[in-house]
């Protein structure tokens, strides 16, 4: 197992900055604290990176990027935006996958700290108090990418997912749909979850229509296909599906087609994200367009402003969305 400075800090019950001070001898540390850190280092067989320690006071022109899964199309597009702007400002990036697991996220933050990155761009499902404390211990500039901090403590770049879902649901109602199913991921997700459910539910309430919800445990194609087949097997009627991701929408459309429904004459489908899937399927998907590349690019530009003490207009940036109408509606 690769032991990081975060592991040492956790074992000793101190911050990563305190561990660094003990290792580098750069500041006075209480003897009791110093002993705790040294005991933790010995117990965990930690071997600090001498090169990184030597760079402690210098800029490395490197930015750490932590994402849940870089193979996801939406993540890949945001990473491309990050990388292009990083290159423009002569920064390199170190990219790591967290699998959306809190402990791995914290370990990776420690790893990035050890590698002396100048700043950290973070994508995740939930910003807990525990994670915020890990950010603070690392003492690094942090920008959240397509990730929401409910208390707005950390600079971020996002899209208004609630408003986007509201407008998509309104569009379906204007097209004559009344039995509209919202096929979503975990509702607890602060980006893909609650905001999109909330926008949908507001329209259904305003129009006095019955909400039809299916909360999936994930947002991938296989999960969506299973969920949609389960819904259709119950014999429930519907005339539209609003899906929280392009993969869920594609799955919903395929399940409906297998069940004999015509798209869009019998069931209309709208998705989120506007990934390549939307024009690879037939009929092509109507979708909420999120400027994913721009989210990544603006996040990296915000980071450069923080690092160079440039003026920042807003620490909570909301980029505009759009809707592309294709054949699925």
pLDDT of residue 238: 93
pLDDT of residue 50: 47
User: Band of the pLDDT at 13, cuts 50, 70, 90?
Assistant: confident
In this predicted model, which residue has the larger pLDDT, 14 or 70?
70
- What's the pLDDT tens digit per position in 39-71? 888 888 776 654 454 445 467 899 999 999 998
- What's the pLDDT tens digit per position in 235-247? 888 999 999 999 9
Look up tokens 């499902």; give the residue.
Answer: 125
pLDDT of residue 51: 44
pLDDT of residue 48: 63
pLDDT of residue 201: 97
Alpha helices in 72-193 (DSSP H): 73-88, 102-114, 129-138, 161-174
Look at residue 114 and tell me whether its pLDDT is greater than 60.
yes
Query: How many Å apart are CA 102 and CA 105, to the nearest integer?
Result: 5
Q: Of all residues in the chain, what percent carry a pLDDT higher than 90?
A: 54
Angle at 292 between CA 290 and CA 294, to 5 degrees: 110
pLDDT of residue 136: 87
Look at residue 177 and tell me whether its pLDDT is greater than 90.
yes
Query: How many Å apart are CA 165 and CA 239, to the nearest integer?
Result: 17
pLDDT of residue 230: 94
Query: How many Å apart are CA 294 and CA 298, to the nearest integer?
Result: 6
Query: How many Å apart are CA 170 and CA 60, to the nearest integer?
Result: 49
What mean pLDDT is predicted for residues 291-301?
92
Q: What tokens were used for 180? A: 């509209």
What is the C-alpha R_g of the chain? 23
What mean pLDDT is predicted for residues 16-41?
76
Question: Across the chain, what does the average pLDDT equal?
Answer: 88
What mean pLDDT is predicted for residues 77-91?
91
Euclidean distance between the first and final Cα of the chain, in Å?
A: 51
How buried is 195 (Cβ within 10 angstroms: 0-12 exposed, 13-18 middle, 19+ buried)?
buried
pLDDT of residue 54: 46
What mean pLDDT is predicted for residues 195-203?
95
Could you tell me the CA-to-CA distances from 306 to 58, 61, 89, 123, 141 in Å, in that order?
16, 13, 13, 18, 7
pLDDT of residue 58: 66
Residue 309: which residues within 8 A CB-CB, separation 6 or more?
none
Contact 113, 140 (CB under 8 A): yes
Q: Is 25 left (phi over 0), alpha (psi -120 to 50) or beta?
A: left
- What's the pLDDT tens digit per position in 206-218? 999 999 999 998 8
- What's the pLDDT tens digit per position in 311-324? 888 889 999 999 99
Could you tell me the CA-to-CA distances from 143 to 16, 155, 201, 270 in Å, in that order?
19, 5, 30, 30
């Amino acid at each position: 197992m690769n032991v990081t400075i975060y592991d040492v800090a956790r074992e000793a019950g101190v911050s990563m900055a305190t561990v660094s001070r003990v290792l580098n001898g750069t500041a006075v540390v209480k003897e009791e604290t110093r002993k705790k850190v040294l005991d933790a280092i010995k117990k965990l067989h930690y071997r600090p990176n001498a090169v990184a320690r030597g760079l402690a006071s210098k800029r490395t022109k490197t930015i750490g990027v932590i994402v849940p899964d870089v193979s996801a199309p939406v993540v890949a597009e945001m990473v491309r935006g990050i990388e292009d702007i990083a290159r423009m400002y002569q920064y390199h990036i170190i990219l790591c996958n967290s699998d959306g697991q809190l402990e791995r996220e914290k370990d990776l933050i420690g790893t990035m700290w050890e590698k002396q990155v100048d700043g950290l761009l973070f994508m995740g499902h939930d910003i807990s108090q525990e994670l915020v404390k890990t950010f603070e211990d690392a003492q690094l500039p942090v920008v959240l990418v397509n990730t929401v901090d409910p208390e707005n403590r950390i600079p971020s770049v996002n899209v208004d997912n609630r408003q986007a879902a509201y407008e998509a649901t309104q569009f379906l109602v204007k097209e004559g749909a009344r039995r509209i199913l919202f096929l979503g991921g975990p509702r607890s997700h602060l980006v893909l979850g609650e905001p999109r459910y909330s926008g949908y539910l507001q329209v259904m309430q305003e129009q006095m229509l019955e909400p039809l919800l299916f909360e999936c445990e994930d947002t991938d194609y296989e999960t969506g296909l299973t969920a949609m087949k389960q819904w259709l097997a119950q014999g429930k009627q519907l005339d539209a599906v609003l899906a929280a991701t392009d993969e869920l929408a594609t799955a919903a459309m395929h399940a409906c087609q297998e069940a004999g429904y015509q798209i869009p004459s019998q069931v209309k489908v709208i998705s989120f994200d506007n990934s390549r899937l939307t024009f690879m399927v037939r009929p092509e998907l109507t979708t909420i367009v999120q400027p994913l590349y721009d989210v990544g690019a603006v996040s990296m530009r915000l980071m450069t402003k923080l690092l160079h003490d440039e003026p920042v207009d807003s620490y909570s940036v909301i980029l505009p969305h759009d809707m592309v109408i294709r054949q699925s509606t």
